[in-house]
Amino acid sequence: MKLLVTGGAGYIGSITTAELIHAGHEVVVLDNLYQGHRGAVHPRATFVEGDLADRSCLAQLFADQPDIGGIMHFASYTLVGESMAQPLKYLRDNLVNAANLLEAATAAGVRRFILSSTANLFDDPERMPIDEDERIVPGSPYGESKFFIERLLHWFERIHGWRFACLRYFNACGDLPDIGEDHDPETHLIPLVLQVALGQREAIAVFGDDYPTRDGTCVRDYVHVVDLAGAHILALEALDRLGSRRYNLGNGQGYTVMEVIQACRRVTGRPIPHVVAPRRAGDPATLIASSDAIRRELGWQPRFPDLDAIVASAWEWHREHPRGYAGG
């Protein structure tokens, strides 16, 4: 199938684009390169530089590519902390951009849609691990913006007969040898710890050691981007058969921040100093996914269930690309 991948020059979008092409799909990438990198886009993808805020650009794209059969929507502002400081960038821009995309897709007759959603929908979970029946309590304007888009899709299904899947990722991490994580600024734990291993930072700050967890640091469910990409492909291929779906995506195992740092020490063989810093606003103590539904319904099986293997894949990318895409 020919697919439109928005944000296909970003971290998860670029790796999903590569996996789609390996699975035999054709991909058109739309990206404004605000956060993404031209060098991350698979050479066999058609690249369109453009912005979802620009409705004429979207109309032109669908006119130029009349045979697009589905959309994977990654393009988005994604930082929880930033969304607490600049809520409208998320509550307005993420929503308007998605609405523009849905409008143009409807006009073009495209009705299959996979949304990159988030565990930030579950700020106050009643059960752990968190399954799809958990009540939705967005933890930030970022999470709320993704929830809005999930609701848009609900109405497009009812009104226009769309089929959609919302994939709520827990902690995306890991890399391919030639496509990897390169954010500026970097805020995520594993790349920051590996920057310490590379000597680019003096120490990793551990945000809080007084949480009610086994060592006092936050517990998260780390899931490899290749496995997230695989889930997108399975969800796409099942849309016509199963109808619209919402899935939580993680390995079902929680690791503390200190356990992640230990894994990075084991994999890199480097000491990696850490310092304890104050809690980061908005961090829940524990987030672990139940991915039983997608395993059962789509046969999803992570290729990287093991934290050390995830870290090793990230270490390979960061060691070989210490300046990210800027280093060529």
91 part of the interface to ligand UDP, by CB under 6 A? no
Identify which range of 3-11, 17-25, 28-36, 202-210 contacts ligand UDP by CB under 6 A: 202-210
Specify whether the CB–CB gap between 290 and 248 falls below 8 A. yes
Helix (H) or strand (E) holding 71: strand 68-73
* Residue number with CB closer to ligand UDP (106 or 195): 195
Least distance (Å) between residue 239 CB and ligand UDP: 27
What one-character DSSP code corresponds to residue 327? G
List 187, 198, 200, 240, residue binding ligand UDP (CB under 6 A): 187
What's the half-sphere exposure (Cβ side, CA atoms, 13 Å) at 294?
33
* Residue number with CB closer to ligand UDP (4 or 189): 189
Give the whole-angstrom CA distance, residue 276 versus residue 162.
Answer: 48
Least distance (Å) between residue 277 CB and ligand UDP: 7
Identify which range of 88-96, 125-133, 186-194, 242-250 contacts ligand UDP by CB under 6 A: 186-194
List 12, 257, 294, 298, residue binding ligand UDP (CB under 6 A): 257
* Residue number with CB closer to ligand UDP (26 or 283): 283
Specify whether the CB–CB gap between 263 and 307 falls below 8 A. yes
Footprint of ligand UDP on residues 68-87 (CB under 6 A)?
80
325 part of the interface to ligand UDP, by CB under 6 A? no
- Environment class of 296 (CB within 10 Å of its CB; exposed 0-12, middle 13-18, buried 19+): exposed
In sequence order, the 6+-apart residues with CB closer than 8 A to the CB of 86 are: none
Give the whole-angstrom CA distance, residue 262 versus residue 138.
Answer: 31
188 part of the interface to ligand UDP, by CB under 6 A? yes
Footprint of ligand UDP on residues 210-249 (CB under 6 A)?
218, 220
Quickly list DSSP for 126-180: SSSSB-TTSPPB-SSHHHHHHHHHHHHHHHHHHHH--EEEEEEESEEE---SSS-
Least distance (Å) between residue 101 CB and ligand UDP: 24
Give the whole-angstrom CA distance, residue 123 versus residue 135.
Answer: 9
Identify which range of 134-142, 149-157, 200-208, 224-232 contacts ligand UDP by CB under 6 A: 200-208
192 part of the interface to ligand UDP, by CB under 6 A? yes
Give the whole-angstrom CA distance, residue 323 versus residue 195.
Answer: 10
Give the whole-angstrom CA distance, residue 229 versus residue 220.
Answer: 19
Placement of tokens 């390979």 in the chain: 316
* Residue number with CB closer to ligand UDP (228 or 257): 257
* Residue number with CB closer to ligand UDP (186 or 237): 186
The residue count for binding ligand UDP (CB under 6 A) is 15
Placement of tokens 């006009």 in the chain: 107
* Residue number with CB closer to ligand UDP (103 or 186): 186
Least distance (Å) between residue 33 CB and ligand UDP: 23
Among all residues, which ones are annotated catalytic?
A: 142
Least distance (Å) between residue 191 CB and ligand UDP: 8
171 part of the interface to ligand UDP, by CB under 6 A? yes
Rounded to 10°, the helix 257-268/189-197 angle is: 40
**Which residues are at the interface with ligand UDP (CB under 6 A)?**
80, 171, 187-189, 192, 204-207, 218, 220, 257, 280, 283
